[in-house]
Chains A and B, each alone.
Chain A
Amino acid sequence: MKLMWFHLMPYTELPDDFKQKHPSVWVDIHSSLFDPKRAHHMYNDFMDEMEFAAEVGFDAVCCNEHHSNGYGLMPSPNLIASALARRTTDTAICVMGNSLALYNPPTRVAEEFAMIDCISGGRLIAGFPVGSPMDTCYAYGQNPSMLRERYLEAHDLVMRAWTEKETFAFNGRFNQQRYVNIWPRPIQSDPHPPVWVPGGGSVETWRWCAEMDYVYCYLSYYGYKTGLGVMKGFWEEMDKLGKDRNPFRAGFLQFVGVAESRSEALERYAEAAEYFYGRCLHIDPKFAQPPGYVTEATQRVGLQSQVVKAASYQEKFKKRPTTMKEIVDDGYVIVGNPDDVVEQLREVAVNMNVGNLMMLLQYGNMSKDLTKYNTKLFADKVMPKLKPLFSEWEHKWWPKPMQRQARAELPAFSPRVEAAE
């Protein structure tokens, strides 16, 4: 199976009384809480951590896109991915992803992803999320009634931009371009970089992923207990559509804290987990449901099915545990010694039939030292035991980079020599 290292890049210094004094971590979070000079250190720590994860052998490093968000400091994940492309060699770079309807014209996504694919020698996983309501409709002012139509059209435009050989005119409902002809083109051109789609449990997204042969990723902060129901629905839909149960069709996000013992893990990771679930998910429910964001088909299923309801945005705003004991009991964060974690993750992967596990090993205000400890212990003692899982299946949705020897030699980084002072 594939073990991927995911960073949300949370602002790590939200005040202790954030939840009491501020209505939301997202959309209208106050600018006075952001210290750019502290963020300088955060960004550099985060990128160190991602490079470290690549060094210790994770299959991929993942970043994503958020706007006006105190727990996600990556309005442009492509900037991070571009830096990672230069500082890693064999690790896949998973941009999870670019919210297609936010780019005008959407060919910008085709271009930037092609750049990352070229710089990295063909290591890009191209994530295409619709984007959360907070990011797309509120922070970016996109019309919720047109978001999905725009998303689907932008997707078609990006695909044609990647695959058509001749300059063409795109005469879409929302986008019109006389001359579409992107330079550069992606290295992965057979037929294009692998496309992964993060979704929240909408039936249409499952069907679309099956139709397009894309990987579906359920990215929830609420762990495998919530995820089980959603993934059950996903696989039942795949059965209906006559698709095989290849576990690499699916991805899942899971928070993990590994230490030498369970009690040590609980102690080490409590502060970071409680920071994340207490402060980072403090989102004003008024930003939950822009009308039209959830399609009528999904509303209909949601009103009739608890499975889909569990994944709805409305559900995400209900009161959630914020103490370490509850967070662990509810399965949001998996903690334990390496063997415990192996067993729990094996159960998660097998029960959900998910071949791509995206691990959140940094969360909340976790320090760089603790993040590296978590990452290294996971890589040394957990990863080797999980890797063989699902080896009977072919992973058809993984990047196909250039041969190692054909790729550019990256010069060693010498900050002391290059430093201006």
Chain B
Amino acid sequence: MPFERMNDPLPPTTMRLKNSKEFLPVSEPTTTTIDINGHACRVWTKGSGPKIGWLAGFGGLPRWTPFLDELAKTRTVIAPSLPGHPGATGHNLLDSHLDWIVAARQVIVKSGLEGEDIAGSSVGGSFVAEFAALWPHKVKRIAMIAPWGLFDEKDPATDVWAQRPDDQPGVLCANPQIWQDFKAVPPGANSVEWPIEQIRASEAAARVFWPLGNTKIEKRLPLILAPTLLLWGEQDRVMPRSYADTMAKLIEGKTTIKTVPGAGHLADLDQPAATAKAILEFMS
């Protein structure tokens, strides 16, 4: 059972489970846009209290999530979309990793997150690390869930782009149904454009990270000075747990590693409450 969680008092929280009446209503954030290289990128904001930025993981944010609601209970959550991810275009202007880092910096600065706490997952987590490394005095604290950027031949990361369609949800989430629901066309959405938007998010990630996910981030991790939380889904099938240790050793700032029981690669989707709790405690 993907929802069984060892030694964890929190009940499982889901967005919407098919074949189940369990449903946690998720209210809408406010939407604004910022301009990145002439393309509009969506920024979702919700909550009150000190700001916390969120750069989403593989697949972006096609919809607001229970995890972000958890954060928004005590913080002002600002979740901008990176180019090519749901709510944003312009990924195909970015040809090099430097182009991407500059774009991510613009996203962070223009959405008002300079000098704030910033968290991110997988793809987004990698850019949180890059920003914190290159502009070390422009972040307060960072939290990253299984960020991309390393590749170890002896313990290779999984190729998320070479998965049979039925296998991909289970590679990304401990509970595959959560990924399927996350990506399902909502009632009233454009049935042609929605799937294209989801493929575009995968393409945008591929544009940066194809083929191995290796951006040689190990060269820049020592530049990170901010206190850092590294979170890893206990059942992460994409990024090996050993990468957390490698990263922690390289990061200059004080670094804490925590694992999230019952979670796969996208721990914020699998275990929203536990993941949010870990981040909030670290950033309190």
Chain A residues at the B interface, C-beta cutoff of 8 Å:
137-138, 141, 143-146, 149, 173-174, 284-287, 290-292, 296, 299-300, 303-304
Q: List 24 A-B contacts (CB under 8 A).
A: A137-B210, A138-B211, A141-B210, A143-B210, A143-B211, A144-B203, A145-B91, A145-B92, A145-B203, A145-B206, A146-B207, A173-B95, A284-B164, A285-B164, A286-B163, A286-B164, A287-B162, A291-B161, A291-B202, A292-B199, A292-B203, A292-B207, A303-B191, A304-B192
> How long is the Cα–Cα vector from A149 to B92 in the complex, in angstroms?
9
* CB atoms of B165 and A174 under 8 A apart: no
* CB atoms of A146 and B95 under 8 A apart: yes
Number of interface residues of B (CB under 8 A): 23
* CB atoms of A303 and B95 under 8 A apart: no
Which residues of the other chain, A, contact B203 by a CB distance below 8 angstroms?
Answer: 144-145, 291-292
**Residue picked from B91, B167, B206, B207, most chain A C-beta under 10 Å:** B206
Which residues of the other chain, B, contact A143 by a CB distance below 8 angstroms?
Answer: 206-207, 210-211
* CB atoms of B210 and A145 under 8 A apart: yes
Task: Name which residue of chain A comes closest to B167, CB basis.
Answer: A286
Task: Name which residue of chain A comes closest to B199, CB basis.
Answer: A291
> How long is the Cα–Cα vector from A131 to B261 in the complex, in angstroms?
43
> How long is the Cα–Cα vector from A299 to B210 in the complex, in angstroms?
21
* CB atoms of A286 and B199 under 8 A apart: no
User: For residues 135 through 184 of chain B, which have their beta carbon under 8 Å from a beta carbon of chain A?
Assistant: 161-165, 167
Within the complex, what minimum Cβ distance (angstroms) separates B87 from chain A? 16
Q: Are A290 and B206 also in contact (CB < 8 A) when A173-B95, A300-B192 are?
A: yes
Contacts A137-B211, A141-B210, A296-B196 known; list 11 others, CB within 8 Å: A138-B211, A143-B210, A145-B92, A145-B207, A149-B92, A287-B162, A290-B162, A291-B202, A292-B199, A292-B207, A296-B200
> How long is the Cα–Cα vector from A332 to B97 in the complex, in angstroms?
45
Q: Are A138 and B95 also in contact (CB < 8 A) when A144-B206, A300-B196 are?
A: no
Does residue B195 face the partner (Cβ distance < 8 Å to A)?
yes
> How long is the Cα–Cα vector from A303 to B194 in the complex, in angstroms?
11
Which residues of the other chain, B, contact A144 by a CB distance below 8 angstroms?
Answer: 161, 203, 206, 210
Within the complex, what minimum Cβ distance (angstroms) separates A398 from chain B? 37
Q: Are A285 and B165 also in contact (CB < 8 A) when A296-B196, A296-B200 are?
A: yes
Q: Choose among A174, A284, A296, A304 the residue that contacts B95 (Cβ–Cβ < 8 A).
A: A174
Does residue B273 face the partner (Cβ distance < 8 Å to A)?
no
> How long is the Cα–Cα vector from A105 to B100 in the complex, in angstroms?
24
> How long is the Cα–Cα vector from A192 to B253 in the complex, in angstroms?
60
Within the complex, what minimum Cβ distance (angstroms) separates A265 from chain B? 37
Within the complex, what minimum Cβ distance (angstroms) separates A57 from chain B? 44
Which residues of the other chain, B, contact A174 by a CB distance below 8 angstroms?
Answer: 95
Task: Name which residue of chain B comes closest to A284, CB basis.
Answer: B164
Within the complex, what minimum Cβ distance (angstroms) separates B82 from chain A? 14
